[in-house]
Amino acid sequence: MEKLQQLYEGKAKKVFATSDPELVIVDYKDDATAGDGAKKGTIRGKGVVNNKLSNALMQKLEKQGVPTHFVQELSDRETLVKKVEIVPLEVIIRNVAAGSFTKRLGVPEGTVLKCTTLEFSYKNDELHDPLINHYHALAMGLATQEEIDTISRYAFQVNELLKSILLEVGIRLIDFKLEFGRLPDGTIVLADEISPDTCRFWDAKTGAHLDKDLFRRDLGGEEDAYQEVMKRLLG
């Protein structure tokens, strides 16, 4: 598989074309941003952790019936994935109040929610990814009702599977963000990544943060936390 020109560079990843028009290579960076890019920095080794963790978790999800874009891990930082058209919705699943949920609704951080919640935000950097509901998504043509139903079903399924996988290694899944994409035939698949960048992981015993909040909140120790999550999940 030949790596060709760079197609895209985001905050955490670069995407390259390949000699197969249906496949691309994702290259994970150590760059870290927070607060809509207002805070910039580096978390050493983050790209390797996020690449390997995301690939391992996606393969576990595939086995349980959640289709993903994963094809093959090429190196510590590079993975071959199916080329998708990203559905411009960030899908946020929350089990415990934290982050913007706490700020927005005044629910104290750490409160276990009476039911798991699903939120959509419009994936648009210029507008700062505003929160929307599924009527907005339909009205703006971001997704069809069938796609929204499929995405919602997969998101809750991913939550249940990840919660049990993580609890086995002493990690609580607080909340997380998913992105989905369309294959050329319209099939919806899980895309992007599942990592300490996109999930809130708390140590099940101590409640210690094992995710990007350490960087966001200037708490320090983020490099060790990312390595710890990888060690627990991948050995």
- The structural domains of the chain, with segments of one domain joined by +, span 3-82, 85-234
Q: Looking at residues 68-81, what average pLDDT do you find?
A: 98
What are the phi and psi torsion angles at 82 (to 5°)? -70, 140
Average pLDDT, the chain: 97
Q: Quickly state the pLDDT bin for 201 (edges 50, 70, 90).
A: very high
Is the confidence at residue 38, as pLDDT, over 90?
A: no
Is the confidence at residue 13, as pLDDT, over 90?
A: yes
Tokens of 21: 């028009």
Tokens 């895209």, located at residue: 8
CATH topology of domain 85-234: D-amino Acid Aminotransferase; Chain A, domain 1 (3.30.470)
Q: Quickly state the pLDDT bin for 181 (edges 50, 70, 90).
A: very high
- Would you state the CATH architecture of domain 3-82? 2-Layer Sandwich (3.30)
Query: What is the predicted pLDDT for the residue at 56?
Result: 98
Q: Quickly state the pLDDT bin for 158 (edges 50, 70, 90).
A: very high
Query: What is the predicted pLDDT for the residue at 35?
Result: 83
HSE-CB at 196 with a 13 A cutoff on CA atoms is 35
Percent of the chain whose predicted confidence (pLDDT) is above 70: 100
Query: What is the predicted pLDDT for the residue at 37?
Result: 79
The stretches of 85-216 forming alpha helices (DSSP H) are 99-105, 134-139, 145-167, 213-216
Q: Looking at residues 141-161, what average pLDDT do you find?
A: 98
Query: What is the predicted pLDDT for the residue at 1?
Result: 81
Would you say 13 and 24 are in contact if contact means Cβ atoms under 8 Å apart?
no
What are the phi and psi torsion angles at 209 (to 5°)? -70, 135
Q: Looking at residues 67-74, what average pLDDT do you find?
A: 98
Query: What is the predicted pLDDT for the residue at 196?
Result: 97
Q: Looking at residues 130-141, what average pLDDT do you find?
A: 98
Residue 26: its H or E element? strand 23-28
Strands (E), 50-198: 70-73, 78-82, 85-86, 89-96, 112-122, 131-132, 171-182, 188-191
CA distance 39 to 70: 30
Query: What is the predicted pLDDT for the residue at 116?
Result: 98
